[in-house]
Amino acid sequence: MAEVQRHYRIGEFAKLVGLSTYTLRYYEDQGLVKSQRDENGVRYYTDEDIRWVGFILHLKGTGMRLNDLKRYVKLRAKGDATIPERRAMLQKTKDDAEADIAELQMHLQVLSRKIDWYDGKVDQTIADSESFHDYLQRFNDK
C-alpha cells in the first residue's frame, strides 16, 4: 500500500521547518523551494519538501551563499548528469567550512589561553611581570 503524502499549508509547514512564512515565500521567489497548489489555488507543501528545506538549511548553515544555493537547485533540477558539478560544489563548501572551523578553533584557543592567563594572574600562579605575549610563548615553543 502506497504511503499517503501529507499536505501542509504554509503556516504549518513554516513551523515544521523552523522558518517564517515570509522566509518561505522569499525562498520560493529565489527558486530554492517550490510549493504546489491545490484545486483552489492554495499553496501547500509535502513531507518531501520538509526534507528538501532541511537540506537547504544545512547548506546555508555551512556558509553556502545564496547564489550558490540557487545554482545547486538549478543543477539538481537538471538531473543526474549534473552530479559531478553538484558534488564539486558540495566539496568546495565542505572545504570552506572546515577552513572556517580551523580558524575559529585557533581563535578559541587564544581566548582560552587569555582566560587561563587571567586566572593565573588572579590566583598568582603566573608572575605579575609575565605578559600575555610571554605566556603564549610557552605554548608556541612546544
Per-residue pLDDT of the chain in tens (142 residues, 90 and over written 9): 666 789 999 999 999 999 999 999 999 999 999 999 999 999 999 999 999 999 999 999 998 999 999 999 999 999 999 999 999 999 999 999 999 999 999 999 999 999 999 999 999 999 889 899 988 888 887 6
Query: Considering the domain boundaries, does residue 36 fall inside one?
Result: yes
Query: Considering the domain boundaries, does residue 22 fall inside one?
Result: yes
Query: Considering the domain boundaries, does residue 49 fall inside one?
Result: yes
Return the pLDDT at 139: 84
Q: How many domains does the chain divide into?
A: 1
Q: What is the CATH number of the domain that holds 21?
A: 1.10.1660.10
pTM: 0.76
Query: Considering the domain boundaries, does residue 102 fall inside one?
Result: no
Query: Considering the domain boundaries, does residue 76 fall inside one?
Result: no
Residues forming a β-bridge with 43: 37
Query: Considering the domain boundaries, does residue 45 fall inside one?
Result: yes
For the chain, the three-class secondary structure string (H helix, E strand, C coil) is CCCCCCCECHHHHHHHHCCCHHHHHHHHHCCCCCCEECCCCCEEECHHHHHHHHHHHHHHHCCCCHHHHHHHHHHHHCCHHHHHHHHHHHHHHHHHHHHHHHHHHHHHHHHHHHHHHHHHHHCCCCCCCCCHHHHHHHHHCC
Query: Considering the domain boundaries, does residue 48 fall inside one?
Result: yes
Domain around 32: 1-61
